[in-house]
Structure 1
Amino acid sequence: MMKKIALIYMGGTFGCVGEPLAPMPAEKFIPLLQHVLPLQLDIECFVSPVIKDSSACTAEDWLRLTQFIQELQQKQYQNFVIIHGTDTLSYASAVLANCLGHSAHVVLTGSQYPLLNVKGDDTREFTDTIDNLNFALESVVKCAQGVYLAFHHRLIHAQTALKRHTTELDAFTGIEENTPIYANTDAIQVNDALIAKAQDFNCVSLMWQPISVDQQIENLALFLKNPPNALILQGFGTGNIVVNEKLIQVLQNIQAKNCAVIITSQVPFGLLDQRYAVSEWISHAKFLVSNSLSQADLYAKALKMYLKYDAVDQWHDHWKN
């Protein structure tokens, strides 16, 4: 029995035309997109509740997309391909993975070049759109339940995706689908109340720099006046950050204002490791340590914690779940 695929268009370079590139209105683009879809597959096209340049997307937009997918699930759709811009494609993938878990077959894709020529009246002579879209459509009916990113013939676990190059066709890297990972499997039902709450989600990720501890303290002290919901500290190597008691106290003061302080690494892949003396302070300072699979996945996990729990103490109680 042929599996029906819901193809959801959310914008991005894929649907841009003109010079400079600008998005074609969805109602004009979808009929042109349908002309290039493979005839052997049962595909129904949908317009996402939000269409915008992906660099402008926020948690609210991805939650609206998740809600739309969950509404289609209630109509018996179980296979979804999403066309999304590449700038925040890894973040969209991670948010969907954390919200949908293994409740459906979901594959996100995008392109480095548009589908259409400058005038928008024919397909572009050189484009990666058709190749990426066909690969995503083929993958969604074969992959196990979960969320994936399909790009340049690579099917990647969504929570591990990282954009590795600004212009090359092979733009994304991560752990490929044929390698098992420990990933989020539980879904959350997205409703209007959660979407409204997400509008106020404030997450700051601070990449640690090789400057003096005193300068770090001054920088961190700025967050005491208006702390975010989550402060992510990207240390060196396996999460190493050089501190003193004053710096730890500043971080604890920030956390006391209901801000989750999370330690992670600037290094894209690999687990954190606190065997070094320079990281010994983390074990007794009572900060959260990332157990996510990428920076985008850590953002998505922080978002999920914020949506589910109002107090940072609850984040600590459920962080390892």
Structure 2
Amino acid sequence: MMKKIALIYMGGTFGCIGDPLSPMPAVDFIPQLQHVLPLDQHIECFVAPVIQDSSACTATDWLKLVQYIQQLQLQQFQHFVIIHGTDTLSYASAILARFLGQSSYVVLTGSQYPLLNSTGDNTREFSDAIDNLNFALDTVIKAPVGVYLAFHHQLFHAQTALKIHTSELDAFTGQKAEQTAQQATQSYVVQDADIQKAASFNCLSLMMQPIDLDQQVSNLQTIAQSPPHCLILQGFGSGNLAVNDPFMACLQNLQQAGCAVVLTTQVPFGGINQHYAISQWIQQSNILLSDCAGHADLYAKALKMYLQYDAVDQWQAHWHDHG
């Protein structure tokens, strides 16, 4: 029996027209999209709950998408292809992976060039849109259960995906689907209350710079005046940071104010380790260590923790339950 695929359109460059580019209304774009779909597959097109430039997407938009997918699962859909803008495609991929787990077959894709010409009445002469879409539609019925990102004839585990070029067709990297990778296994059923709560989610990532420790402390003190729910410290190398007593006091004050502090690394690949003497301070603090596949995945994990736990000590108690 031919597997049916739910093709969900969420905007992005893929569906833009004009000069300068602007989104084509979904009601006009979907019929044009249907013209280029392969005839040998059972594909039904859907419009995502929110369509906008991906740089404007937030947690609520992606949770609405997860909820929409979970509703379609109740209608016997198990294979999903998502068309999404590339700016935050890694974040969308990580969130879908964290919240859908291995409950279905999901492939996200997008394009560096629009599908249609500037007038929107025919396909564009040069575009990666059709290739990326066809590749995603092909792989979604062949790949093992889970969430993936398909781009430029490469299929990556969604939690590991990273955009590495602003304009080249080969714009993403990550662990390829045939490689063993960290994957969330349990799904999380998104409720309306989760979407409402996510609207208030405040996550701040601080890429540490090689400046004097007094300036580092001053920056943390400024953040502590209005602390986020989660502060991500991007350290050097494998997660190294130089600290002193005032720095440690700032972290303690942030935690007491309800801010979960997470240490990660600025380096895209390899993760963190604490083999250096400069990092012995971690053993004396309650700072959380990232065990995530990348920065977007860390954001996705922090969002999920925020929805499930209200107190910092709960984050600390359950952090590694959600690897």
Superposition deviation, residue 116 in structure 1: 0.5
CA–CA distance in structure 2, aligned partners of residues 255 and 286 of structure 1: 8
> Does 50-59 or 275-284 show the bigger shift?
275-284
Cross-structure match for 1:24? 24
Cross-structure match for 1:317? 317
Cross-structure match for 1:66? 66
Is residue 253 of structure 2 the alignment partner of residue 225 of structure 1?
A: no
Cross-structure match for 1:13? 13
Is residue 219 of structure 2 the alignment partner of residue 215 of structure 1?
A: no
Count residues with an aligned counterpart.
321
CA–CA distance in structure 1, aligned partners of residues 279 and 142 of structure 2: 43
CA–CA distance in structure 2, aligned partners of residues 7 and 84 of structure 1: 11
Q: Kindly provide the amino acid, as one letter, of the partner of residue 188 in structure 2.
A: I
CA–CA distance in structure 2, aligned partners of residues 154 and 319 of structure 1: 31
Cross-structure match for 1:271? 271
CA–CA distance in structure 2, aligned partners of residues 235 and 112 of structure 1: 31
CA–CA distance in structure 2, aligned partners of residues 13 and 202 of structure 1: 27
Is residue 125 of structure 2 the alignment partner of residue 125 of structure 1?
A: yes
**Unmatched runs of 5 consecutive residues or more in structure 1:** none
Superposition deviation, residue 283 in structure 1: 1.6
Cross-structure match for 2:242? 242
Superposition deviation, residue 284 in structure 1: 1.4
Superposition deviation, residue 200 in structure 1: 0.1
| Superimposed CA distance per residue, residues 208-266 of structure 1 (whole angstroms, 9 cap, x where no aligned partner) | 00000000000010122210000000000000011101101111111111100000000
| Superimposed CA distance per residue, residues 76-125 of structure 1 (whole angstroms, 9 cap, x where no aligned partner) | 10000000000000000000000000000000000000000011111000
3-state SS of the aligned residue for 1:64? helix
Q: Kindly provide the amino acid, as one letter, of the partner of residue 144 in structure 1.
A: P
3-state SS of the aligned residue for 1:320? helix
**Unmatched runs of 5 consecutive residues or more in structure 2:** none
3-state SS of the aligned residue for 1:319? helix
Superposition deviation, residue 271 in structure 1: 2.1
CA–CA distance in structure 1, aligned partners of residues 122 and 44 of structure 2: 21
CA–CA distance in structure 2, aligned partners of residues 17 and 60 of structure 1: 26
CA–CA distance in structure 2, aligned partners of residues 41 and 152 of structure 1: 21
Is residue 297 of structure 2 the alignment partner of residue 297 of structure 1?
A: yes
When the two chains are superposed, the root-mean-square deviation of aligned CA atoms in Å is 0.5
Superposition deviation, residue 198 in structure 1: 0.1
CA–CA distance in structure 1, aligned partners of residues 114 and 181 of structure 2: 33
Runs (4+) of structure 1 exceeding 2 A deviation are: none
CA–CA distance in structure 2, aligned partners of residues 297 and 206 of structure 1: 16
Is residue 262 of structure 2 the alignment partner of residue 262 of structure 1?
A: yes
Superposition deviation, residue 23 in structure 1: 0.2
Q: Kindly provide the amino acid, as one letter, of the partner of residue 301 in structure 1.
A: K
> Does 111-120 or 176-185 show the bigger shift?
176-185
| Superposition pairs of residues 130-141 of structure 1, within 5 angstroms | 130-141=130-141
Cross-structure match for 1:115? 115
Superposition deviation, residue 182 in structure 1: 2.4
3-state SS of the aligned residue for 2:320? coil
Q: Kindly provide the amino acid, as one letter, of the partner of residue 89 in structure 1.
A: L
| Superimposed CA distance per residue, residues 255-293 of structure 1 (whole angstroms, 9 cap, x where no aligned partner) | 111100000000011121101011111121110000000
| Superimposed CA distance per residue, residues 171-225 of structure 1 (whole angstroms, 9 cap, x where no aligned partner) | 0000000001122111111010000000000000000000000000000101222
Q: Kindly provide the amino acid, as one letter, of the partner of residue 184 in structure 1.
A: A
With normalisation by structure 2, the TM-score equals: 0.99
Cross-structure match for 2:34? 34
CA–CA distance in structure 2, aligned partners of residues 225 and 219 of structure 1: 10
